[in-house]
A and B are shown apart, each in its own frame.
Chain A
Amino acid sequence: MKTGASKRTGFWFILPSMVFVLIFFLVPLVAVLIMSSTNFPLLGDVEYVGLQNYKDMMSDTEFHQTIIQTLIYTALVTPPLFFVGLGAALLIRRTNKLSSFFRTFFFMPLVIGFGSAAFLWYWLLDPGTGYIPQLLRDLGFGAMEKPILGYMPGALLAVILMVVWKFSSLQMILLMAAMQGIDPEVLESSEMDGAVKWKQLRYITLPLIKRTLGMVFILSIAGSLLAFDQFFIMTGGGPEGQTETMVFYVWRQAFRSFNLGYAAALSVVISIALLLVSLIQVRFINEKD
């Protein structure tokens, strides 16, 4: 099918989706760049301010603080996500009835929404009626003096716990799929050579799934840098803004303070940061295992 007619046919198949991409992606993408160089008040005339918004960002210590907090969150949530995911993948990588039964339950947190999960944990951690403080009391840790979500570092750690609960099955399934792609003979021959289990993991299994390892790391990093729902719902950014993330701050600037121009500039900066992270991901995807 290399005729001119087929070229046009292909175009007709693509066109409908292209219209959506144009209107709801490319137009906003151009708009955010334009908006970022204006003051863009909700009412009144739009005024071109050049790079002023970007200059303001340099001295916006509140924004800097949210960058640091987002980076800390990302650094803290990525390792437990990975290790729980890897552990689960090793435990139930065999495809028998029992392991697929376990896998089903393991996936439950992933399929429920982020919003539902956050509201679930918001209650679960409630000092009065929540089950977790009660469980801690029952286990003899004593009554908690302060509500977990109201204080640092409890608030941050609680959110991390929720996210690990929710997303480690995603990491597990990606790692498991990669491990199942390994030639079983490679593993068998290393076992015959007397390789201990963890050495086999360290020197054979993990290097063979390097590409997937890179992908799950990037996935977790990119997702964490954009964190919003879990903090908005569980901590409201508190205590005293200490769990406010970058996206949270931008959202507040745009939709609470209505500084649309400044929010647009912040959005551009975050997009560039994420674009860089994603470029690393593309490198991993293109790289052969």
Chain B
Amino acid sequence: MVLFLSPILSSLFHSLKTPKDSASSPPTYIPPTFSLDNYQSLANSSSGIISDGIYLYIGNSLLLAGLTVIGTLILATLAGYGFARFKFKGREIYFAIILLMIMVPFQALLTPIYFLFAQVGLQNSLVGLSLIYITYQLPFSIFLMRNTFMVIPQALGEAAMVDGCSPFKVFRSIMLPLAQPGIISVALFAFFASWNEFIAALTMISVQEKYPLPVVLTLLSDRQMGATNFGFLQAGVVVTMIPCIALFLVLQKYYVSGLVSGGVKS
């Protein structure tokens, strides 16, 4: 277990060294003096490596993740419920398309998406990027929500229908609250996926002010005067990792159940 945790702790320690200590070779495992200098230069962009303080980029990542989570939740709960409870025309075809989405690698569609986004001016747009993320979270999320709704007794909704509730009202007021565990799993995975995604963000966003955190790390690892400032880079890595670790610690149960039950694409 130590083996699995120690790289993360090492990164934390290295980021807490003074810039001088973090550049010294050979390195010490534990910081000789603990210092927040690396984080301070991340915060106020005094390094000259990034044009703005890290808060801007944290904001970009939060916006991206927020839009992805909300969009995925709305679309996947609706569709999951539709698949779990209704028979409708085209159901099999849509189901097959979703299966196809799991099989066709998303990376292979980056080239046309890039071109199509360029046509409609969605390049360099975090909203545009979130639309891609939402779409590719759908197969996993719809399956997970479908499974969640399937185990909710159908009688609950039928009774309300008899009382004159509309199908949408049944969905919103009765089914959604009962589907909470599935909803949390879907939201959690949508957050992880959008917060951490790299290749599409790298491709679609080319102006620095719009970079999400993983792409900012490529800037932090740039060589300045012949050497990468590794303490600084690890401070960036820690900032990027912390929300994931914190959310996981709080919502571990939902994470594990999502991994096991879903189509498993992490």
Complex CA–CA separation, A130 to B10 (angstroms): 9
B153 at the interface (CB under 8 A from A): no
Complex CA–CA separation, A9 to B166 (angstroms): 10
Stretch at the interface among B40-48, B176-184, B232-240: B232-240
A31 to nearest B CB, angstroms?
A: 4
With A111-B255, A112-B241 as contacts: A131 and B88 at CB distance below 8 Å: no
- In the complex, chain A residues whose CB is within 8 Å of the CB of B62: none
A10 touches B214 (CB 8 A): no
A200 at the interface (CB under 8 A from B): no
A24 touches B131 (CB 8 A): yes
B198 touches A115 (CB 8 A): yes
B248 touches A111 (CB 8 A): yes
Stretch at the interface among A58-66, A151-159, A190-198, A226-234: A226-234
Residues facing B in A80-131 (CB within 8 A) are: 102, 104-116, 119-124, 126, 128-131
Q: Which of B87, B105, B116, B230 has the most CB of A within 10 A?
A: B105
B5 touches A105 (CB 8 A): yes
- In the complex, chain B residues whose CB is within 8 Å of the CB of A1: 85-87, 158
A159 to nearest B CB, angstroms?
A: 14
Interface size on B, residues (CB 8 A): 95
A264 touches B113 (CB 8 A): no
A113 touches B103 (CB 8 A): no
Complex CA–CA separation, A210 to B66 (angstroms): 39
With A17-B75, A21-B97, A126-B230 as contacts: A109 and B112 at CB distance below 8 Å: no
Interface of B is mostly: helix
B157 to nearest A CB, angstroms?
A: 9
B244 touches A111 (CB 8 A): yes
Q: B107: nearest residue on chain A (CB-CB)?
A: A247
The residue that B27 contacts in the complex, of A25, A134, A165, A254, with Cβ under 8 A, is A134
The residue that B105 contacts in the complex, of A173, A254, A271, with Cβ under 8 A, is A271
- In the complex, chain A residues whose CB is within 8 Å of the CB of B248: 107-108, 111
A191 to nearest B CB, angstroms?
A: 26
Interface residues of B (CB under 8 A from A): 1, 3-5, 7-8, 10-11, 14, 22-27, 29, 74-76, 78-79, 81-83, 85-91, 94, 97-99, 101-105, 107-116, 131-132, 134-136, 138, 142, 158, 167, 171, 192, 195-199, 202-203, 214-215, 217-218, 220-221, 227-228, 230, 233-234, 236-237, 240-241, 244-245, 247-249, 252, 255-256, 259-260, 264, 266
